[in-house]
A = this chain, B = another copy of it.
């Protein structure tokens, strides 16, 4: 362990001002792109900033502006598994793309368990972030309440289960699931099972509700419900499919509430010697990358992820701008993407 020298002190606004021969106020104006600065002063300051490698101190700045220019994506999920869900990866990608040309920073906060939720609550209340995008809520999640008490703008990814008044962006999960199920019906399938997401998550519940609604509305009499609960993971899909095959060996189609689970289901079907789509038609949900590459390519329900992340950011920025929380909700339509599996 060798020391490589003490940390040099970073330059301050004062030093820049002295070097540029102007006042601190003028330096601040230049740094913040205020229009009321003469070209000469601006040039002098910019030069000084460059030679000193000056960077404004964020703590000092946000002490007075009361803004931090960072927003948090908080992920509340006991299972680190979430990280591997392509849906989550897409959200992260979408957000950082959307934020790229703003001067906002994105930080990820993950909470597994109650103590970490509290910790995040404290982090937010201390004023580390201007706003929060909250993902992956189970019904017993404390974070919405914690954040409500933090008086900070919040946008939920996904409709809140308890109907509380809060801004959120969601896909039309029920509509998409219903469309998928109707598609299977239109293929002539009559023993249509579903593998659900976790039933303490709104996406899980809504997709199941869509499946049920479609069977109730559009199916000929006598088409039964066949439901197995999954957990949005590939392994869970495999397990659920295996269970379904044991319970209903004559099923001829399955609507799977997420693509990773559908990939697992495909494996179970292959292991059981069923051909897809000849013996069993499969529809997934999410249109993850894997849906196009698996064997057979997966018919699935696509959500407009880019649009959704944009909307979340906009709803959040609106609140931050206005300096108050607000509830604005957007529900985005889904599309059925037809591939080989159904």
Contact = CB atoms under 8 A, between A and B. Distances in A.
B58 A4 contact: no
A1 B92 contact: no
A7 B89 contact: no
A141 interface: no
Contacts of A116: 96, 100
B108 A96 contact: no
A85 B110 CA distance: 16
B7 A323 contact: yes
B58 A60 contact: no
Contacts of A53: 149
Contacts of A126: 55-58
Given A6-B323, A93-B112, 11 more contacts: A4-B324, A7-B324, A8-B151, A53-B149, A59-B62, A60-B63, A63-B63, A70-B128, A83-B92, A108-B108, A108-B109
A222 B315 CA distance: 66
A87 to B, nearest CB: 11
A82 to B, nearest CB: 9
B110 A109 contact: no
A105 B57 CA distance: 20
Contact of A83 (B59, B83, B100): B83
A339 interface: no
A5 B315 CA distance: 16
Interface string A136-177: 000000000000010110000000000001000000000000
A146 to B, nearest CB: 12
Interface residues of A, number: 64
A328 to B, nearest CB: 4
Interface stretch (A16-24, A117-125, A275-283): A117-125
B127 A59 contact: yes
Nearest to A95: B110
A10 interface: yes
A59 B70 contact: no
Interface in A1-50: 1-8, 10
Interface string A56-93: 11111011000010101000000011011110111011
A107 interface: yes
Contacts of A326: 1-4
A85 B81 CA distance: 10
Interface in A163-218: 165
A119 B105 contact: yes
Nearest to A107: B107
